[in-house]
Amino acid sequence: MTSLILQTAARSLVAVLLLFSIFLLLRGHDEPGGGFIGGLVAAAAFTLYAISFDVPSTRRVLGIRPQMMIAIGLLLAGGSGVFALLTQDPYLTHLWYDLDIPGFGEVHLGTFLLFDIGVFLVVIGTTLLVVLTLSEE
């Protein structure tokens, strides 16, 4: 079934949902949100695209295989704990770094962001792997 109305709405909604998922990801360490819920919202955006169009075009728009997303996410989440080991702290202890970025000023970053991005990618990859595989059948 091809619906011109659904396809037109999906193009706009996917962009809004992806921006909202990034917002949820970035505010997760201070307030409700984070990698898990942000990943679910991003996966919902791509699922909407798959329903509106088809699975092959969704895979093209995604640009990366879901299995690769899972692998990269696991490496980021697991690797975020290595920084703590280098400073003689327990594994996955969150560390904070202050960076002075020209044009932005001083930015306060922590290793939790790497962990949340890893969770974000694992959730997107796992959800899309299931959804796109079932949609192809």
Contact 42, 62 (CB under 8 A): no
Q: Who contacts 135 (Cβ-Cβ below 8 Å, separation ≥6)?
A: 50, 55
Report the distance separating Cα 125 and Cα 108, nearest Å.
28
Output the pLDDT for position 99: 82
Lowest-confidence segment of 17-21, 57-61, 62-66, 102-106 by average pLDDT = 102-106
SS3 (DSSP) at 61 = helix
Output the pLDDT for position 132: 94
* 114-129: average pLDDT: 95
pLDDT band of residue 101 (cuts 50, 70, 90) is confident
Number of C-beta neighbours around residue 11 at 10 A: 13
* 133-137: average pLDDT: 87
| Residue-number span of the structural domain to which 28 is assigned | 4-136
Residue 96 bridge partners (DSSP): 110
Residue 37 has pLDDT above 80, yes or no: yes
* 117-121: average pLDDT: 95
* 10-36: average pLDDT: 88
> Dihedrals φ, ψ of 48, to 5°?
-60, -40
pLDDT digits (tens, 9 = 90+) for 70-100: 999 999 999 998 988 888 988 888 888 888 8
In the chain, the amino acid numbered 19 is: L
Total domains, the chain: 1
pLDDT digits (tens, 9 = 90+) for 43-52: 999 999 999 9
Contact 87, 95 (CB under 8 A): yes
| Residue 125, token pair as written in the block | 């990859």
Output the pLDDT for position 27: 85
More confident residue, 133 or 97: 133
